[in-house]
A and B are shown apart, each in its own frame.
Chain A
Amino acid sequence: MPATRQILIDPVTRIEGHAKISIHLDDNGEVREARFHVTEFRGFERFCEGRPFWEMPGITARICGICPVSHLLASAKAGDALLSVTIPPAAEKLRRLMNLGQMVQSHALSFFHLSAPDLLLGFDSDPAQRNVFGLMAADPTLARAGIRLRQFGQDIIAMLGGSKIHPAWAVPGGVRSAPTAVQRADIAQRLPEARATVLDALRRFKALLDTHHAEVATFGNFPSLFLGLVGPHGEWEHYDGRLRVVDAGGAIIADQVEPSRYRDIIAEAVEPWSYLKMPYYRARGYPAGMYRVGPLARLNICTRIGTLLADAELGEMRQRAGGIATSSFYYHYARLVEILAALERISLLLDDPDLDSLRLRAEAGLNQFEGIGVSEAPRGTLFHHYTVDAHGLIQSVNLIIATGHNNLAMNRTIAQIARHYVKGDQISEGALNRVEAGIRAYDPCLSCSTHAAGTMPLVVTLIAADGTVLDEVRR
Chain B
Amino acid sequence: MERRRLATIWLGGCSGCHMSFLDLDEWLFELAQHIDLVYSPLADVKEYPDHVDVALVEGAVANEDHLHLIRQVRERTRILIAFGDCAVTGNVTALRNPLGAPEALLHTIYIERAEIAGCLPHAPGIVPQLLDKVQPVHKVVPVDVYLPGCPPPAPRIRALLEQVIAGEDIRLTGREMIKFG
Footprint of B on A, CB under 8 Å?
8, 10-11, 13-18, 20, 22, 37, 39-43, 45-47, 59, 62-66, 68, 109, 113-114, 127-128, 130-133, 136-137, 140, 143-144, 147-148, 150-151, 154, 163-166, 267-275, 277, 286, 398, 433, 447, 451-458, 475
- Complex contacts, A136 vs chain B, CB 8 Å: 28-29, 32
Are B15 and A65 within 8 A (Cβ)? yes
Size bracket of the B interface:
35 or more
A201 to chain B, nearest CB (A): 18
Q: Is B79 an interface residue (CB 8 A)?
A: no
Closest 8 CB pairs of A and B: A65-B16, A457-B47, A131-B43, A458-B46, A127-B44, A455-B68, A43-B96, A65-B15
Pick the residue among A143, A433, A451 that contacts B13 (CB under 8 A). Answer: A451
Are A451 and B121 within 8 A (Cβ)? no
- Complex contacts, A143 vs chain B, CB 8 Å: 29
Interface-centre pick from A42, A136, A268 (highest chain B CB count, 10 A): A42
Q: Is B1 an interface residue (CB 8 A)?
A: no
Given A165-B151, A272-B122, A451-B13: A14 and B20 interface contact (C-beta under 8 Å): no
Given A165-B151, A272-B122: A452 and B42 interface contact (C-beta under 8 Å): no
Q: Is B114 an interface residue (CB 8 A)?
A: yes
Given A164-B23, A272-B119, A455-B72: A40 and B14 interface contact (C-beta under 8 Å): no
Are A147 and B28 within 8 A (Cβ)? yes
A84 to chain B, nearest CB (A): 26
- Complex contacts, A65 vs chain B, CB 8 Å: 13-20, 151
- Complex contacts, A46 vs chain B, CB 8 Å: 96, 99, 105, 108-109
Given A18-B10, A137-B32, A455-B72: A166 and B128 interface contact (C-beta under 8 Å): no
Given A39-B127, A137-B32, A452-B63: A13 and B44 interface contact (C-beta under 8 Å): yes
Q: Is B41 an interface residue (CB 8 A)?
A: yes
Are B65 and A454 within 8 A (Cβ)? yes
Pick the residue among A20, A62, A272 that contacts B16 (CB under 8 A). Answer: A62
- Complex contacts, A140 vs chain B, CB 8 Å: 29
Pick the residue among B28, B44, B69 that contacts A455 (CB under 8 A). Answer: B69
Q: Is the interface of A mostly helix, strand, loop or mixed?
A: loop
Interface-centre pick from A43, A114, A144, A457 (highest chain B CB count, 10 A): A43
- Can you offer 25 A-B residue contacts whose CB atoms are under 8 A? A13-B42, A14-B41, A16-B15, A18-B41, A20-B126, A40-B12, A40-B65, A41-B121, A42-B96, A62-B16, A65-B16, A68-B16, A133-B37, A163-B153, A164-B19, A166-B16, A268-B114, A269-B115, A273-B122, A286-B116, A447-B14, A452-B63, A453-B9, A455-B65, A457-B47
Pick the residue among B9, B10, B119 that contacts A271 (CB under 8 A). Answer: B119
- Complex contacts, B66 vs chain A, CB 8 Å: 452-453
A423 to chain B, nearest CB (A): 22
- Complex contacts, B22 vs chain A, CB 8 Å: 109, 113, 150
Are B42 and A132 within 8 A (Cβ)? yes
Are A14 and B44 within 8 A (Cβ)? yes
Instruction: Give complex CA distance A426, B150 in Å.
Output: 45
Are A270 and B118 within 8 A (Cβ)? yes
Interface-centre pick from A20, A147, A398, A451 (highest chain B CB count, 10 A): A451
B13 to chain A, nearest CB (A): 6
A373 to chain B, nearest CB (A): 19
Are A42 and B116 within 8 A (Cβ)? no
Pick the residue among B46, B95, B130 that contacts A454 (CB under 8 A). Answer: B46
Interface-centre pick from B11, B13, B46 (highest chain A CB count, 10 A): B46
- Nearest residue (CB) in B for A143 is B29
Instruction: Give complex CA distance A237, B130 in Å.
Output: 38
Given A47-B99, A136-B32: A37 and B15 interface contact (C-beta under 8 Å): no
A122 to chain B, nearest CB (A): 12
- Nearest residue (CB) in A for B38 is A128
Are A275 and B121 within 8 A (Cβ)? yes
B133 to chain A, nearest CB (A): 13
Instruction: Give complex CA distance A457, B125 in Å.
Output: 13
Q: Is B93 an interface residue (CB 8 A)?
A: yes
Instruction: Give complex CA distance A452, B113 in Å.
Output: 24
- Complex contacts, B126 vs chain A, CB 8 Å: 8, 10, 20, 22, 37, 39, 273
